[in-house]
Structure 1
């Protein structure tokens, strides 16, 4: 592994989110500011959105690592496409409550009781829901109803929603989410890192694993890393990890832009679907006529058949006559039913 070759104590570019490697880019610093403001309010919803790989999960890990667990109980759900009652069951289970065989009203009663108990013990409860873009309207509505629980004028539950950009668009535009929008007290959309943040990001992660300057980096590699990752942390980690792996295999003591370009091209080729060439078709000479009915060959024109047209016309006339006869029979039947006296009730 490249960490052994370069004398690193760990792999700095793993794809698994790790709050140890938290890097405060501009967008992540803004997100933490909004989170801090929202948590200080102690109510409503906080909404953070961002592209896949923008660092939402690392943000949550950093938040969880820094909270005072004596004053705040944070529970996390990774949502799937669950409807409203299933969302209640997941919430109850995250609070350590049994849910088997309980009706919705009983679930709500148990959740509220547990939240009240936390409040009596001097702790607030934060529910973090990841992958919020998967939630149907019914689940979002149940979350909104949970945010209504209060005790002594204080909210018993605060909710933190994490989602991809499609959730942001849906959240902003859907008329059916107006009531939930009115409960949002802080929101932020995570963007990609800026070009000048790539070098500090890479050096920061390397420093956390005891990097001693091996490998070195040429100035041109930072622009290449940015261009091929788009500034998204997960893509950057994947690319940087592959670059270091290649460097360890080839014994490189310095990484330059050409190395980054080569690895990026290899990764793009690996990700692209294999081209599947069409099987070769035999060439047809201009003098060759395609058999009738074969693809590319014109169908032979047929002259109209007067006898067939006459038969079709007669059949259409017969259908019209039959429909008229059916309508007459139905009319007589209705007249007969309406004129028939009601039958006497049976005594048997």
Structure 2
């Protein structure tokens, strides 16, 4: 609706990643530099992480548009909890190798042959794994094994791993020490800076034929950055709604008030969950009083403590441990008894001194 109102040839703020809208923010420029360095090294792993909506998929799309397909064969995988065996099949499929029904050892052999076949054409193979944080640990280790394939002292496969921030925590696992040693570059995509948002909006609008209408005041841009926190996806979400609001209200220049109105609508679309109320602690009922006269202070008993759920849980845990210790004690005594009986029986079989053997 708003694209026709403002004379645009398309939707500049669609949420689906599209490399034609690539914008060179400082953090994305640095990420591309690391990817380019990795390609020049022709080996090892390059790791790019970022929060959801930071532009990882757009980054990959831009990379695919810039590489030389005559020199590089690219296999791209978007993971969704892919097991190690399935991952190998997907890599083989990307190499044009049929591995249906094969055992793991056969699949590995087929993948190696496929890598050699690509190398004979004068190309290198690049494996790009997106959403790498979803990979099981065994699958991550399988990627390291694939990076071992060589020909003439040169790696047959290079791997780019893109994932959310928790993937960096996964890499810190002691079991992945050998993989970490093969990471030649790593970068985390930071949010867009406040000074970058205005040029970002202008760039995306220009891609679809923007002629200056509509425009955004500096205050409007600042309000958008505060709400979106510099996340490209959230910026696109907000900017699309702002343009829709402008088309309905016939607005050609957006102010901070216009943006705040749309933000209020967006916040109303996804209300915050109500806070969970803690269950009240039930105190034990008071004992009935028999004597109507107050008891002397010297014989007043202390108030009964409130028994909490944590105290009950700790008591139950202690009881289970005590029961387990008793079971272990009984078992130990039984084993000792059997050992004593065994030793006594063995000694009875030894000939006594002075008797015939």
TM-score greater than 0.5 by the shorter chain: yes
Matched pairs, number: 303
TM-superposition CA deviations, 1:208-267 (whole Å, max 9, x none)? 111111112212111111111111100100000010011101111111111111111221
Distance 1:211 1:79 in 2: 37
Partners of 2:6 and 2:214 within 8 A in 1: yes
Question: Which residue in 2 is equivalent to 1:111?
Answer: 111
Deviation at 1:144, TM superposition (A): 0.3
Cα distance in 1 between the residues matched to 2:216 and 2:257? 11
Residue 298 (str. 1) matches residue 280 (str. 2):
no
Tell me: CA distance 1:277–1:136, structure 2 relative to 1, closer, same or farther (3 Å): closer
Equivalence map 1:328-347=2 (5 Å): none
**C-alpha distance in structure 2 between counterparts of 1:38 and 1:72, whole Å:** 13
What is the aligned partner in structure 2 of residue 121 from structure 1? 121
Post-superposition offset of 1:136: 1.6
Question: Could you tell me which residue of structure 2 aligns to residue 216 of structure 1?
Answer: 215
1:79 maps to what in 2? 79
1:269-317 deviations in Å (ceiling 9; x for gaps)? 2222465999xxxxxxxxxxxxxxxx788376699xxxxxxxxxxxxxx
Q: Paired residue for 1:140?
A: 140
> Mean alpha-carbon deviation: is it higher for 201-210 or for 74-83?
74-83
- Normalised TM-score (structure 1): 0.80
1:1-348 matches, cutoff 5 A: 1-171=1-171, 173-273=172-272, 275=274, 298=285
- Whether the 8 Å contact between 2:115 and 2:156 is mirrored in structure 1 is yes
Shift of 1:23: 0.2
* Alignment CA distance shift 1:298-1:64 (3 Å): same
Q: Distance in 2 between matches of 1:103 and 1:145?
A: 16
SS of aligned partner of 1:170: helix
C-alpha displacement of 1:16: 0.3
C-alpha displacement of 1:170: 2.4
State the Cα deviation string for residues 9-46 of structure 1 (Å, max 9, x = none).
00000000000000000000000111100001111101
Query: How many angstroms apart in 2 are the aligned matches of 1:207 and 1:150?
Result: 46
* TM-score (structure 2 length as normaliser): 0.78
Q: Distance in 1 between matches of 2:288 and 2:72?
A: 82
How large is the Cα RMSD of the aligned pairs?
Answer: 2.9
Task: Tell me the SS of whatever aligns to 1:202.
Answer: helix
Structure 1 outlier segments of 4+, above 3 Å: 273-278, 299-303
Q: CA deviation at 1:78?
A: 0.7
User: Where does the alignment leave 5 or more consecutive residues of structure 1 unmatched?
Assistant: 279-294, 304-323, 340-348
Distance 1:147 1:167 in 2: 19
Unpaired segments ≥5 residues, structure 2: 291-329, 346-357
